[in-house]
Amino acid sequence: MNLIRKVAPTAAPTTFETPGDVYNATPPRIVFGAGSAGRVADEVRRLGCSRALVVSTPGRGAMAQRVVASLGDLCVGLLAEAISQVPIELARSCRIKAREMEADCLVSVGGGASIGLGKAISLELALPIIAIPTTYSGSEVTGFCGITIDNVKRMHTSLRMLAATVIYDPELSLSLPVDVSAASAMNALAHCVDAVYVPTVNPMNAMAAAEGAGAITEGLRGVVADPRDLGARTQLLYGAYLAGAALAGGFALQHGLAHTLGGSFGVPHGLSHALVLPHVAAYNAQFAPDKIGTLEAALAVPSLGGALFDLLGDIGLPNRLTDVGISEADIPEIARITVETDNGLNPGPVTEEAVTQITLAALRGARPR
């Protein structure tokens, strides 16, 4: 199928016009297409490696075992231990196991948890990573990872965590439940939103964000209508790739708030993004209307925050933080941690008052105007 979409003209710059317009081109090798996971052994050999350690979650054990079988003698073991939010204790124990197995590369199979654990291991051991994503997190093409330390998720950035090769095989996501697919896709959409207004954004990131947002929403609606639609799965995976590429330029409050909800309050990662995304977008539209406008043009919607809120209902996801166990009593601590871990890249002020108002709106399920 033709994955190239026509995106409406936007206000994004078409040239590198300011000292801040820097594009550090460090993309991984991309292998894309149905059945491409069967090429993993060739990709290991291409890296000059012969002792691949497969990283996965317990729930993806069967799929990981198929990768192990495909690798044959090139595989030295399987770590099916990844869990969401990457606790530092788990990262350290798996690093020790990887060293003991004398692994010379990692093959991360699964969603953000598997890919995140692979990154955390490589951060210490500098092993090349082959990522085989089965969800839509986009993490596989970024050089950063959230690691939870003392119940707070903190971001770590290093080129060591950038995959050498990413294998996108849409057939691997055909069995992914619709609700999990939807939450994961909203995570990718959050990348597109947060990426467009950081001061480190450049034309390449902006174009990837606009194209990615359109591909994600188009593919997501197709998957919700028919979970076995390979074309829709392919479109969604393509959008997730672009979302990750866009996020390489930086992230802001959307990710900070979602990481607080996930790392400190146990909200599943995709839902932590989905539930606050409409409200963060509406807040930042006050301070970066032109940047938000690029996505409104790409999606042909009058209000990004309102459109994202409506999308939650269209795809069957909850729209209130109370639906995932957050209460009003949690908000002061959510605001405190979010402000304390803020990276300073958000266009609007990241204050406890601002975070409180955003979180209250998400708690109550109020549709942004």
> What CATH number is attached to the domain comprising 318?
1.20.1090.10
Evaluate whether residue 221 is within a structural domain: yes
276-323 pLDDT, tens digit per residue, is: 999 999 999 999 999 999 999 999 999 999 999 999 999 999 999 999
What pLDDT score was predicted for residue 127? Answer: 96
What pLDDT score was predicted for residue 249? Answer: 85
- The per-residue b/e assignment along 17-41, b for 16 or more CB within 10 angstroms, e otherwise, is eeeeeeeeeeebeebeeeebbebbb
Evaluate whether residue 298 is within a structural domain: yes
* Region 178-192 average pLDDT: 97
pLDDT exceeds cutoff 60 at 55 = yes
pTM: 0.89
Evaluate whether residue 23 is within a structural domain: no
Assess whether 157 and 224 both reside in one domain: no
Assess whether 140 and 195 both reside in one domain: no
What pLDDT score was predicted for residue 100? Answer: 97
Assess whether 204 and 166 both reside in one domain: no
Evaluate whether residue 19 is within a structural domain: no
Confidence class for position 365, pLDDT limits 50, 70, 90: very high
In the chain, the percentage of residues whose pLDDT exceeds 70 is 93
Assess whether 246 and 313 both reside in one domain: yes
Task: Tally the domains of the chain.
Answer: 2
Confidence class for position 43, pLDDT limits 50, 70, 90: very high
Assess whether 127 and 216 both reside in one domain: no
The helix (H) or strand (E) run that includes residue 42 is helix 40-46
What pLDDT score was predicted for residue 325? Answer: 97
Q: Are residues 198 and 246 in contact, defined by beta-carbon separation less than 8 angstroms?
A: no
What pLDDT score was predicted for residue 109? Answer: 96
List of residues 6+ apart from 136 with CB closer than 8 A: 173, 181, 184, 185, 187, 188, 216, 236, 237, 239, 240, 243
* Region 156-167 average pLDDT: 91
Tokens of 4: 């190239």
Evaluate whether residue 195 is within a structural domain: yes
Assess whether 168 and 191 both reside in one domain: no
* Region 37-62 average pLDDT: 94
Dihedral pair phi/psi, residue 198, rounded to 5°: -70, 150
Burial class from Cβ neighbours inside 10 Å (0-12, 13-18, 19+) for residue 136 reads: buried
* Residue with the larger pLDDT of the pair 52 and 61: 52
In the chain, the percentage of residues whose pLDDT exceeds 90 is 79
217-233 pLDDT, tens digit per residue, is: 999 999 999 999 999 99
11-42 pLDDT, tens digit per residue, is: 443 343 444 455 555 678 999 999 999 999 99
What pLDDT score was predicted for residue 145? Answer: 83
The chain-wide mean pLDDT, for the chain, equals 91
Evaluate whether residue 69 is within a structural domain: yes
Q: Which of 150, 173, 196 corresponds to the end of one domain?
A: 173
Evaluate whether residue 25 is within a structural domain: no
261-to-15, 155, 271, 281, 338 alpha-carbon distances in Å: 37, 14, 9, 17, 9
Assess whether 168 and 183 both reside in one domain: no
Assess whether 203 and 84 both reside in one domain: no
What pLDDT score was predicted for residue 23? Answer: 55
Assess whether 135 and 221 both reside in one domain: no
Assess whether 117 and 50 both reside in one domain: yes
Confidence class for position 6, pLDDT limits 50, 70, 90: very low
Q: Which of 146, 173, 200 corresponds to the end of one domain?
A: 173
Q: Are residues 276 and 235 in contact, defined by beta-carbon separation less than 8 angstroms?
A: no
The CB-side HSE value for 307 (13 A sphere, CA atoms) comes to 18
Identity (one letter) of the amino acid at 297?
A
Assess whether 147 and 250 both reside in one domain: no
Tokens of 289: 């209307």
pLDDT exceeds cutoff 80 at 364 = yes
Instruction: In whole angstroms, give the CA distance from residue 170 to residue 216.
Output: 14
94-106 pLDDT, tens digit per residue, is: 999 999 999 999 9
What pLDDT score was predicted for residue 217? Answer: 97
Residue carrying the six token digits 């692979």: 118
Evaluate whether residue 12 is within a structural domain: no
What pLDDT score was predicted for residue 14? Answer: 39
* Region 121-125 average pLDDT: 91
What pLDDT score was predicted for residue 59? Answer: 78
CATH number at residue 64: 3.40.50.1970
pLDDT exceeds cutoff 70 at 1 = no
Instruction: In whole angstroms, give the CA distance from residue 27 to residue 10.
Output: 25
* Residue with the larger pLDDT of the pair 3 and 359: 359
Instruction: In whole angstroms, give the CA distance from residue 151 to residue 69.
Output: 36
Assess whether 139 and 187 both reside in one domain: no
pLDDT exceeds cutoff 90 at 112 = no
262: domain range?
178-364
Q: Which of 118, 151, 173 corresponds to the end of one domain?
A: 173
Q: Are residues 131 and 47 in contact, defined by beta-carbon separation less than 8 angstroms?
A: no
